[in-house]
Amino acid sequence: MTRSVFPCLLVLSRLAKALRMLSVLNVIAPVFILIGLGYLAVRVKFYPRAGVGGLIAYVNNFATPCLLFRAMIDVDFSAAFNPSIIGPFYLGALSVLALGAVGAARVFKRRPGEAVAVGFSAMFTNTVLVGIPIMQRAYGDEAMPIVYSIIGLHAPVLMTVGMFVMELARRDGGKVSVALFQGLKKSLANPILIGIALGLLANLFGLQLSGVADEVTLLLAGTVMPVALFGLGGALNEYRLGETWAQALMTTSMQLVVHPAIAWIVMVPILGVDPHLARYGVLLAAMPAGINVYIFATYYNRAMDVAANTILLSTVLSVFTITGWLLLLGA
The pLDDT-based confidence of 4 (bands split at 50, 70, 90) is low
Q: What is the pTM of this model?
A: 0.80
34-69 tens-digit pLDDT: 989 999 999 999 999 999 889 988 988 899 889 888
219-228 tens-digit pLDDT: 999 998 899 8
Return the CATH fold of 30-134+141-329.
Na+/H+ antiporter like fold (1.20.1530)
66-81 tens-digit pLDDT: 988 888 887 776 667 8
Report pLDDT for 248.
95
Closest CA to 177 of 169, 190, 168, 186: 168
CB proximity list for 109: less than 8 A, separation 6 or greater: none
What distance in Å separates the CA atoms of residue 120 and residue 103, rounded to the nearest whole number?
12
Classify residue 55 as exposed, middle or buried by CB count within 10 Å of its CB (0-12, 13-18, 19+). buried
> What string of DSSP letters covers 170-189?
-SS---HHHHHHHHHHHHHT
Report pLDDT for 117.
94
With a cut of 90, say whether residue 116 has pLDDT above it: yes
Torsion of CA 295, 300, 303, 307, to 10 degrees: -10
The pLDDT-based confidence of 264 (bands split at 50, 70, 90) is very high
What distance in Å separates the CA atoms of residue 237 and residue 297, rounded to the nearest whole number?
18
What distance in Å separates the CA atoms of residue 301 and residue 322, rounded to the nearest whole number?
31
Q: How far apart are the first and last CA of the chain?
A: 35
Report pLDDT for 184.
64
Domain extent listing, the chain = 30-134+141-329
CB 264 within 8 A of CB 95: no
